[in-house]
């Protein structure tokens, strides 16, 4: 993979030093928008959130958590019944398979406890790096990486913090410029900004505090692509 020049890295770091405080001021309560009470609930909710809104997931999970309160209970669930329980989140067959496999892996290999390392988490069925980052950062306060979803991809690109569209490469770019202790929070900040102001179509650039630091926003204003 082509590496970013040291000059470009410094430019991005300098931009971030201005952007990050503004985002923190704009979204002081930024946090994970999935509802959960423990790491097991969070890993379930995160798997369900693929190609689905967090709002929809939060409507499904309360009954799901009651019905399958432990990894053992979820691992023993009937595939067809679990599919019905989560149908409204979309891709329910694959998600049900992933949930059962994940739970079985926790029971068989981790004594019923959600593991705390990237390697162990990503060895569980249905758990990729993004899901593992969500769990590690939010349930265990371990900054192992940067969660890259559609909002982070869009906002980071518009802000000139990355030129990539591949989540793995975007994460690598962000990890080079964002202080490690801010990795988890930074994802939440970009996600909130992507939902509130830097939306996919007709972003609200005219009211965005980040406009002076945003190459895309300045272009959108000139071309009329922004509100």
- The residue annotated as part of the active site, out of 22, 35, 54, 149, is 149
SS3 content of the chain, % helix, strand, coil (to 5): 65, 0, 35
Residue 130 appears among annotated catalytic residues: yes
Gap between the terminal Cα atoms of the chain:
36
Residue 149 appears among annotated catalytic residues: yes
- The residue annotated as part of the active site, out of 95, 130, 143, 173, is 130
d(CA 71, CA 106): 7
3 state SS for 157-209 = HHCCCCCCCCHHHHHHHHHHHCCHHHHHHHHHHHHHHHHHCCCCCCCCHHHCC
Residue with tokens 């423990």: 38
Which of the residues are catalytic?
A: 130, 149
């Amino acid at each position: 993979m082509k590496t970013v020049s040291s000059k470009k890295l410094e430019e991005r770091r300098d931009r971030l030093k201005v952007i990050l405080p503004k985002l923190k001021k704009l979204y002081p309560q930024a946090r994970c928008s999935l509802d959960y009470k423990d790491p097991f609930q969070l890993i379930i909710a995160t798997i369900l959130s693929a190609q689905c809104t967090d709002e929809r997931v939060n409507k499904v999970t309360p009954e799901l958590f009651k019905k399958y309160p432990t990894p053992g209970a979820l691992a023993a669930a009937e595939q067809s019944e679990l599919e019905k329980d989560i149908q409204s989140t979309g891709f329910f067959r694959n998600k049900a398979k992933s949930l059962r496999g994940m739970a079985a892996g926790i029971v068989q290999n981790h004594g019923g406890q959600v593991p705390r390392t990237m390697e162990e988490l990503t060895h569980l069925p249905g758990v990729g790096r993004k899901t593992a980052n969500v769990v590690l950062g939010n349930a265990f306060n371990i900054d192992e990486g940067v969660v890259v979803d559609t909002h982070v991809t869009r906002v980071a690109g518009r802000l000139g913090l990355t030129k990539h569209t591949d989540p793995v490469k975007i994460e690598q770019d962000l990890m080079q410029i964002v202080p490690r202790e801010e990795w988890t929070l930074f994802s939440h900040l970009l996600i909130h900004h992507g939902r509130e102001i830097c939306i996919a179509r007709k972003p609200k650039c005219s009211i965005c505090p980040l406009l002076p630091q945003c190459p895309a926003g300045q272009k959108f204003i000139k071309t009329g692509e922004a509100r």
